[in-house]
């Protein structure tokens, strides 16, 4: 039995309280020696009669750690010491990473509300088990001097706790109190400070009165208001139709929404994402969300808990203080430039946000937005020896870096269609690359030649001497879900296809990287190209260019000139894109039923259709299939024709909406099952943004399982485009 050794522990062991944890275990088991951070691993020299027990205990790690490997070597002469010491960090390997930001723990909440305690009322209270991590770090090893907390030297009381092995703030790099830590201030929108003793109490009073307040949090600024001010907030933001998220305490969330056991677990998790829930009354809270769902999150910082302690209202609207698809605002100066006219007051703090991070979003246990609490995400996967960068898609983008058996995916970046988000994409690549010590051998990008991210990938490859690889959007979706042989269904709004058309209703067969397109939705025209995504009645006419649809559009105010133009576009193929997109079919159905005639936010027509369908009862319709260029296709014209017939016959809109979703999903499922049975493939994978639609996803799932096939939907990465950068890296690694 060993009585000494050098223990090397690799994984996520930075920023998780690992050294004080090891110190405590050493004292518990009578071990002498040292513990030291080395880059992204921990080195322990240990001696003692209970060495094996100590080894077993430290190998389990802390609540926030993730252990990849534990190696034990003989202790060399001269490494024995008296007592046990935490040594100063040194440089070392960058095989691990740091954890994402996490919610404040119950013990720190109790400290904040403990009368007379050192942390009473202090908004930035944290310990080794909670608080900011990624958002404040500048470099590894994770020590205070390499975080934005370096700007706040410890007071004697905090230094005492930091040095106390019995404290849960022993070597907590974020430790701070009102005497030495970051401070809050309350400003008017023009930057003039308000002279108040308690900025949080005053902000709560202003919110209760109906004021709109920007709040600087862990990863950026939010804009908050009470429900009664939601319409005014939307008007100021120019987002009158877009649903907003809310923050509330658990009892209020349970009162307004249906919360399953899984939803409850996710809501209360240390990640604290926004969880999209079904309303108890679908007609309630319509100034916040016109949908049958509402996005809810619980307080996750000391600031939030103190704010709710002073509020009379039980619920706050809470939305990011940036345009959709743009980076989070993190800097007070930028907030003062952009937010006047949108907010009345600004509640801010003086701790630098080094790495911005938006709120994560989940629905039904599936990730919609991978960000605060969930990212950076580190996944063990063997893709060989190359270092690979995936720069992601154009919309809802992030980046992924693979090195030495692990892939790190960044938090949400946004829509890379503008200089600000492109700059943030570059910044993220640089920061994740620095923290992982990446030197790229391969850079993977989307197949679309005009994306800004594609151009950036070329720049990185040229600068680093790396190879460049283009991967088709929907194949990356499937690669993100599995590397096993499968039939892959990718259903979403848009992706550049092999043939230069707009794909989005695809069925593949094979194994990454050899995925053959075997079926798809019918290819139909998009009159005006992207204009058809904004005005879905154009998409409707592209699918059904009939006299009846012309008459319907005329009855809705289309002029003869407009009708003549769109007719000629479709007939002659002028300024018309070709698409097999599932999202565009749902848009067209939404327009046909008069549910949504103009898209004002991403996904609006299909989301509105889903909300109407939620109250409907679907019926089975006849499906039509065809073959084209060796691929089976589902006729969406026949689906839309049947929907129009039922609309004219006076059937309930909710039933037609439900039937469109149901039969579209049935048709996609039939093509996938046929491909699987023909090729002897035992599993079907589903990915793409349309898969968030519960009715469509569950229809596909039930059909696949009924056919005796395995059904896979990823819960590790977003179903939407937030999985693409990871899929690109997987695809690139599988090509080698």
**pLDDT digit string (tens) for 79-121?**
667 899 999 887 766 666 778 999 999 999 999 999 999 999 9
Judge contact between 582 and 505, C-beta under 8 A. yes
Neighbours of 283 (CB within 10 A): 8
Judge contact between 416 and 327, C-beta under 8 A. no
Residue 223: the pLDDT is 98
Last residue of a domain, one of 61, 86, 111: 86
Judge contact between 312 and 255, C-beta under 8 A. no
Buried b (16+ CB within 10 A) or exposed e, 630-651: ebbbbbbbbbbbbbbebeeeee
Residue 240: is its pLDDT beyond 80?
Answer: yes
Judge contact between 326 and 418, C-beta under 8 A. yes
Classify residue 30 by its DSSP letter.
T
In this structure, are 280 and 402 located in the same domain? no
Instruction: Write out the DSSP string of 278-290.
Output: EESSTTSSTTT-S
Which neighbouring-strand residues pair with 445?
Answer: 470
Rounded average pLDDT over 361-376? 97
Rounded average pLDDT over 60-84? 86
Q: Look at residue 167 and tell me if it is in a domain.
A: no
Return the residue matching tokens 């996803």: 697
Whole-angstrom Cα distance, residue 511 to residue 679? Answer: 12
In this structure, are 306 and 278 located in the same domain? yes
In this structure, are 243 and 292 located in the same domain? yes
Q: Which residues contact 638 (CB under 8 A, 6 or more apart)?
A: 622, 623, 624
Return the residue matching tokens 């995504």: 533
Residue 140: the pLDDT is 82
Q: Encode pLDDT of 30-64 as tens digits.
A: 999 999 988 678 999 999 999 999 999 999 999 88
Last residue of a domain, one of 362, 392, 419: 362
| Residue 33 CA: distances (Å) to CA of 8, 24, 38, 42 | 14, 12, 16, 13
Q: Residue 270 belongs to a domain with what CATH number?
A: 3.90.870.40
Ranges 39-48, 455-464, 646-655, 670-679: which has the least confidence: 39-48
Rounded average pLDDT over 359-364? 98
| Residue 53 CA: distances (Å) to CA of 64, 81, 519 | 21, 19, 57
Q: Residue 463 belongs to a domain with what CATH number?
A: 3.30.420.360
Residue 4: the pLDDT is 92
In this structure, are 605 and 631 located in the same domain? yes
Whole-angstrom Cα distance, residue 267 to residue 91? Answer: 37
Query: Domain containing 197: what range?
Result: 184-362
Q: Look at residue 660 and tell me if it is in a domain.
A: yes
Residue 200: is its pLDDT beyond 90?
Answer: yes
Q: Encode pLDDT of 377-430 as tens digits.
A: 999 999 999 999 999 999 999 999 999 999 999 999 999 999 999 999 999 999
In this structure, are 351 and 453 located in the same domain? no
Q: What share of the chain is helix, strand, coil (3-state, %, to 5)?
A: 35, 25, 40
Q: Is 185 helix (H, G, I), strand (E, B) or coil?
A: strand
Residue 588: the pLDDT is 98
Rounded average pLDDT over 226-230? 98
Residue 579: is its pLDDT beyond 90?
Answer: yes
Whole-angstrom Cα distance, residue 278 to residue 446? Answer: 34
Whole-angstrom Cα distance, residue 61 to residue 51? Answer: 16
Whole-angstrom Cα distance, residue 143 to residue 123? Answer: 22
Residue 143: the pLDDT is 87
In this structure, are 391 and 252 located in the same domain? no
Return the residue matching tokens 């990823």: 714
In this structure, are 384 and 278 located in the same domain? no
Q: Give, for 18, the enclosing helix (H) or strand (E).
A: helix 18-28
Q: Look at residue 282 and tell me if it is in a domain.
A: yes
Q: Among 508, 503, 482, which residue's Cα sits nearest to residue 492?
A: 503
Residue 99: the pLDDT is 84
Q: Look at residue 131 and tell me if it is in a domain.
A: no
Q: Look at residue 624 and tell me if it is in a domain.
A: yes
Last residue of a domain, one of 646, 667, 688: 667
Instruction: Sort strands 221-225 and 361-363 into parallel, antiparallel or unpaired.
Output: unpaired
CA 400, distance to chain mean position in Å, is 13
Rounded average pLDDT over 18-38? 92
Q: Residue 547 belongs to a domain with what CATH number?
A: 1.10.357.160
Q: Look at residue 109 and tell me if it is in a domain.
A: no
Q: Look at residue 34 and tell me if it is in a domain.
A: yes
Whole-angstrom Cα distance, residue 35 to residue 362? Answer: 38
Residue 17: the pLDDT is 87
pLDDT range class, residue 688, cuts 50, 70, 90: very high
Q: Encode pLDDT of 269-326 as tens digits.
A: 999 999 999 999 999 999 999 999 999 999 999 999 999 999 999 999 999 998 888 9
Q: How many residues does the chain have?
A: 736
Q: Among 559, 585, 555, which residue's Cα sits nearest to residue 664?
A: 585
Classify residue 358 by its DSSP letter.
P
Judge contact between 612 and 499, C-beta under 8 A. no
In this structure, are 567 and 466 located in the same domain? no
Q: Look at residue 152 and tell me if it is in a domain.
A: no
In this structure, are 415 and 322 located in the same domain? no
Q: Residue 35 belongs to a domain with what CATH number?
A: 3.30.70.100
Q: Residue 244 class from Cβ within 10 Å (0-12 exposed, 13-18 middle, 19+ buried)?
A: buried
Q: What is the pTM of this model?
A: 0.95
Whole-angstrom Cα distance, residue 147 to residue 658? Answer: 51
Whole-angstrom Cα distance, residue 141 to residue 398? Answer: 24
| Residue 437 CA: distances (Å) to CA of 21, 67, 392, 728 | 27, 19, 20, 20
Q: Give, for 725, the enclosing helix (H) or strand (E).
A: helix 724-735
Instruction: Sort strands 514-521 and 502-511 into parallel, antiparallel or unpaired.
Output: antiparallel
In this structure, are 404 and 530 located in the same domain? no
Domain count within the chain = 4
Token pair belonging to 616? 């409907």
Whole-angstrom Cα distance, residue 586 to residue 610? Answer: 9
Residue 94: the pLDDT is 67
Q: Residue 363 class from Cβ within 10 Å (0-12 exposed, 13-18 middle, 19+ buried)?
A: buried
Q: Among 734, 722, 660, which residue's Cα sits nearest to residue 696?
A: 660
Q: Which residues contact 208 (CB under 8 A, 6 or more apart)?
A: 226, 311, 312, 313
Q: Encode pLDDT of 519-567 as tens digits.
A: 999 999 999 999 999 999 999 999 999 999 999 999 999 999 999 999 9
Rounded average pLDDT over 634-648? 98
Opening angle at CA 231, ends 229 and 233, nearest 5: 70
Average pLDDT, the chain: 95
Token pair belonging to 458? 């070329």
Instruction: Sort strands 246-248 and 315-320 into parallel, antiparallel or unpaired.
Output: antiparallel
Residue 444: is its pLDDT beyond 90?
Answer: yes
Q: Where are the beta strands (DSSP E) in 392-501?
A: 400-403, 406-409, 442-446, 467-471, 486-496
Judge contact between 148 and 311, C-beta under 8 A. no
Whole-angstrom Cα distance, residue 375 to residue 377? Answer: 4
In this structure, are 565 and 527 located in the same domain? yes
In this structure, are 324 and 283 located in the same domain? yes
């Amino acid at each position: 039995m060993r009585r000494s050794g050098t223990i090397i522990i690799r994984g996520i062991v930075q920023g998780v309280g690992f050294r004080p944890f090891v110190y405590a275990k050493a004292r518990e088991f009578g071990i002498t020696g040292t513990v030291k951070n080395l880059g992204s691993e921990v080195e322990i020299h240990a001696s003692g009669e209970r060495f094996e027990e100590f080894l077993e205990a430290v190998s389990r790690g802390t609540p926030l750690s993730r252990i990849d490997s534990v190696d034990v070597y003989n202790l060399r002469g001269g490494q024995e010491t008296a007592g046990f010491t935490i040594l100063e960090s040194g440089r070392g390997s960058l095989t691990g990473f740091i954890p994402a930001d996490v919610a404040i723990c119950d013990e720190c909440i109790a400290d904040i509300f403990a009368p007379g305690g050192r942390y009473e009322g202090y908004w930035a209270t944290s310990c080794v088990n909670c608080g900011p991590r990624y958002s404040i770090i500048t470099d590894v090893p994770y020590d205070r001097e390499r975080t934005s907390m370096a700007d706040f030297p410890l007071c004697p009381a905090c230094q005492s706790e930091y040095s106390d092995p019995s404290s849960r703030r022993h070597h907590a790099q974020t430790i701070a109190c009102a005497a030495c830590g970051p401070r809050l201030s309350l400003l008017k929108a023009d930057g003039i400070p308000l002279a108040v003793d308690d900025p949080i109490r005053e902000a709560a009073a202003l919110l209760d009165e109906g004021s709109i307040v920007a709040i600087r949090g862990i990863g950026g600024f939010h804009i908050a208001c009470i429900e009664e001010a939601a319409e005014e907030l939307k008007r100021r933001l120019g987002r009158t139709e877009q649903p907003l998220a809310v923050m509330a305490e658990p009892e209020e969330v349970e009162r307004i929404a249906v919360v399953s056991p899984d939803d409850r677990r996710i809501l209360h998790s240390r990640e604290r994402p926004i969880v999209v829930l079904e309303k108890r009354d679908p007609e309630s809270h319509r100034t916040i969300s016109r949908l049958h769902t509402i996005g809810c999150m619980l307080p996750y910082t000391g600031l939030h808990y103190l704010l709710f302690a002073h509020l009379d209202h039980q619920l706050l609207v809470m939305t990011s203080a940036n345009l959709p698809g743009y980076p989070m605002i993190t800097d007070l100066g930028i907030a003062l430039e952009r937010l006047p006219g949108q907010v009345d007051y600004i509640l801010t703090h003086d701790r630098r946000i080094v790495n911005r991070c938006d709120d994560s979003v989940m629905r039904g246990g599936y990730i919609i937005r991978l960000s605060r609490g969930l990212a950076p995400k580190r996944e063990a996967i063997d893709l060989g020896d190359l270092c690979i960068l995936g720069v992601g898609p154009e919309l809802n983008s992030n980046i992924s870096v693979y090195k030495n058996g692990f892939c790190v995916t960044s938090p949400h970046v946004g829509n890379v269609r503008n200089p600000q988000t492109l700059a943030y994409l570059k910044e993220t690549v640089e920061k994740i690359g620095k923290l992982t010590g990446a030197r790229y051998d391969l850079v993977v990008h989307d197949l679309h030649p005009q994306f800004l991210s594609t151009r950036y990938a070329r720049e990185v490859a040229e600068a680093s001497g790396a190879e460049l690889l283009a991967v088709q959007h929907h194949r990356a979706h499937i690669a993100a879900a599995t590397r096993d042989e499968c039939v892959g269904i990718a259903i979403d709004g848009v992706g550049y296809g092999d043939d230069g058309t707009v794909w989005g209703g695809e069925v593949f067969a094979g194994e990454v990287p050899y995925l053959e397109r075997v079926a798809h939705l019918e290819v139909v025209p998009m009159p005006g190209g992207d204009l058809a995504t904004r005005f879905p009645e154009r998409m409707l006419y592209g699918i059904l260019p009939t006299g009846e649809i012309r008459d319907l559009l005329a009855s809705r105010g289309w002029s003869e000139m407009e009708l003549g133009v769109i007719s000629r576009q479709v007939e002659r193929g002028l300024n018309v894109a070709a698409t097999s997109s599932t999202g565009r079919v749902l848009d067209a159905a939404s327009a046909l039923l008069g549910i949504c005639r103009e898209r004002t936010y991403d996904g609006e027509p299909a989301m509105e259709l889903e909300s109407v369908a939620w109250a409907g009862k679907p019926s089975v319709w006849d499906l039509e299939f065809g073959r084209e260029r060796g691929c089976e296709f589902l006729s969406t014209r026949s689906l839309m024709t049947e929907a129009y017939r039922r609309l004219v016959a006076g059937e309930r809109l909710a039933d037609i909406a439900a039937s469109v979703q149901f039969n579209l999903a049935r048709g996609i499922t039939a093509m996938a099952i046929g491909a699987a049975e023909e090729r002897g493939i035992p599993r079907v994978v589903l990915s793409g943004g349309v898969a968030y639609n519960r009715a469509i996803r569950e229809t596909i799932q039930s059909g696949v399982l009924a056919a005796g096939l395995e059904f896979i939907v990823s819960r590790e990465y977003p179903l939407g485009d937030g999985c693409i950068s990871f899929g690109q890296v997987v695809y690139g690694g599988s090509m080698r």
